[in-house]
Structure 1
């Protein structure tokens, strides 16, 4: 941990939304609230400010760019960019790259993988997914459940070129069998969904999460709330919909109009889901066409949608870590934390300028 045996974080430590402490210590790379005994002053490094658990980007793609898988050097740069903004835990929501080597790097964010996307044939971005037909869905879900870290990623809808618009990718029976198989293997299932049509079938089939979820309506939001199905809105990605719509206008006017309507109601959709009790988490969809390091911007977007600042913070800290089964700033946990100059509960824009980033007990930024 730099040249010091012990790190002392002073100021306000936001252990939880209602649990604020004056200090914590990092000894042996782990959090403790007991002052270490017998440590010389010269062996202690002190950092002051407002401390949060390391941020979570709950929808990110390390090892992927707009053309498909990338080499290890590029994946490393992506992970370092996320680290610089304080995103120290990433749920990789689908990647064709093998990034297991990152697990051996204590200086890079921790990754929870969902294996490779599973899509319908010619119904997703080229070079990203396993492209299959419904009869193969259960087998591929089982394969990716074993390959991932407790998650599987489906592409629930995409443009159907014959229909000229977004349509559901999978028949109900195939989805039910696939989700049941994932659950049997101990994995949760999430799905990319922009439009309305696939949502009821996916939720009633037992899905655990939906990415983007721009197609939520007053009919499906209560179903999500009742079943406890989470959403990761990726609002920084939804901001690209107008440009996408303009690019497809000539060939697919129905799709373009649909994308604009989904964009126009994006904040209302997220706020309605939040108000109904649907769990909402922060994710950027970095990788592909979007840059890494956008989690602070995503949290700010959640507040623009009307989610209170503390709950928007929870969507990238306390709540997100609990949802993913990873500890925050509790006694004995790995010391992954970010320190800011001001209280992020008062203004989430503070997240864009971390004072210090601590990963596995080491000051890395």
Structure 2
């Protein structure tokens, strides 16, 4: 039995003096045999949530199970106890059976088109008309989410190549509707401005990156409550990507540099406009696992208050995903820190205790 005391941050309004963990469950009331409890004191936070993470994905595509386990453990040890996997070439459903790994909400495979995304990352559809059926299939394969790749560079245009949408608007509408009919929500990778309007028109449920959103699109996302996951660690690589692309694709490179330059201002605008922000490291591929605390520090650097960033990475994200936080009878998934992360986000880098399913790691 474990007693967690000090400041237990339940949500935006509720702070408890203590909670108890027994048999992998949380209790807000003192249970029997409390005198036998082990005690941890500090700032107690619901397990962090990484909503854009790819367990099973490496730089060249799918990794081995052993490597995927190492990825998930790195996330866990950084305090990430719930992951929405935003697409993976690996069938990582086996993570559900591992008590030592973060809880996982899967989105199945990325859906993209041939030569219009990173090689070996996605399920590639030869015919755009296949997208609605593919969305329905991935909805059945995942845990209530589908991941679309909405735009990517079109290299067939040569020196004029730039980011362009992958899907016709009418196909996109049918695809989102098909996922919804199958009981899933849809989130979409998008860097460009051009892809956002069709996504909003299609009824998209989430936007990943969102670097091309203009003020009107931001206002519309805020009005509808459509969350955006900024992934500033990934956007921070745009200058490097532009330098690699510049010799062959100068138009694309120039756009990526512009978005890199205004990345902090853009995230601040999202927050100020009232767009719900979710936090995602984009770990897997080019970003290392266990990097969610670094992502959160970047969002604070953009001007979003630390308290809002912490909420977006814990209790607000859990509510959005339908996962419990520090609730009576919920799974004992909490992280303990020696200082208040609402005041100093940097304390998230070094948790004093990580408790997953009641077990300390």
The TM tier, using the shorter chain, reads: over 0.9
Find out whether 1:54 has 2:53 as its counterpart: no
In 2: Cα distance, 1:273 partner to 1:259 partner: 19
Match of 1:3 in 2: none
Is residue 84–residue 357 contact of structure 1 (8 Å, CA) maintained in 2? yes
Match of 2:58 in 1: 65
Describe the SS at the equivalent of 2:66: helix
Deviation of 1:219 after TM superposition, in Å, equals 2.4
Match of 1:78 in 2: 71
Find out whether 1:230 has 2:191 as its counterpart: no
Alignment of 1:148-297 (within 5 A): 148-163=142-157, 164-297=161-294
Describe the SS at the equivalent of 1:344: coil
Q: Per-residue displacement from partner, 1:293-336 (whole Å, max 9, x unpaired)?
A: 11111111111111111111111001100011001001110000
Residue 114 (structure 2) aligned to one of 118, 121, 124:
121
Match of 1:26 in 2: 21
Describe the SS at the equivalent of 2:215: coil
Match of 1:363 in 2: 360
In 1: Cα distance, 2:268 partner to 2:313 partner: 17
In 1: Cα distance, 2:102 partner to 2:156 partner: 42
Describe the SS at the equivalent of 1:220: helix
In 2: Cα distance, 1:44 partner to 1:226 partner: 47
Deviation of 1:337 after TM superposition, in Å, equals 0.3
Find out whether 1:87 has 2:80 as its counterpart: yes
Q: Per-residue displacement from partner, 1:30-77 (whole Å, max 9, x unpaired)?
A: 1101112235x4x42111110000000110000010101111100000
In 1: Cα distance, 2:42 partner to 2:270 partner: 33
Describe the SS at the equivalent of 1:162: helix
In 2: Cα distance, 1:82 partner to 1:259 partner: 28
In 2: Cα distance, 1:91 partner to 1:154 partner: 14
In 2: Cα distance, 1:13 partner to 1:144 partner: 38
Q: What is the root-mean-square deviation of aligned Cα atoms in Å?
A: 0.9
Q: Give the length in aligned residue pairs.
A: 357
Match of 1:106 in 2: 99
Deviation of 1:10 after TM superposition, in Å, equals 1.4
Describe the SS at the equivalent of 1:219: helix
Find out whether 1:330 has 2:324 as its counterpart: no
Describe the SS at the equivalent of 2:100: coil
| Greater Cα shift, 231-240 or 219-228 | 219-228
Alignment of 1:297-312 (within 5 A): 297-312=294-309
Deviation of 1:260 after TM superposition, in Å, equals 0.5
Find out whether 1:38 has 2:33 as its counterpart: yes
Is residue 118–residue 131 contact of structure 1 (8 Å, CA) maintained in 2? yes
In 2: Cα distance, 1:70 partner to 1:251 partner: 30
Residue 128 (structure 2) aligned to one of 130, 134, 151:
134
TM-score, length of structure 1 as denominator length: 0.96
Is residue 49–residue 341 contact of structure 1 (8 Å, CA) maintained in 2? yes
Q: Per-residue displacement from partner, 1:203-229 (whole Å, max 9, x unpaired)?
A: 111000010000011121112112221
Is residue 64–residue 95 contact of structure 1 (8 Å, CA) maintained in 2? yes
Is residue 217–residue 269 contact of structure 1 (8 Å, CA) maintained in 2? no
| Greater Cα shift, 296-305 or 338-347 | 296-305
Find out whether 1:14 has 2:9 as its counterpart: yes
In 2: Cα distance, 1:222 partner to 1:37 partner: 51
TM-score, length of structure 2 as denominator length: 0.97
Is residue 213–residue 232 contact of structure 1 (8 Å, CA) maintained in 2? yes
Is residue 93–residue 106 contact of structure 2 (8 Å, CA) maintained in 1? no
In 2: Cα distance, 1:103 partner to 1:120 partner: 29
* Structure 1 residue ranges without an equivalent (≥5): 1-5
In 2: Cα distance, 1:220 partner to 1:34 partner: 46
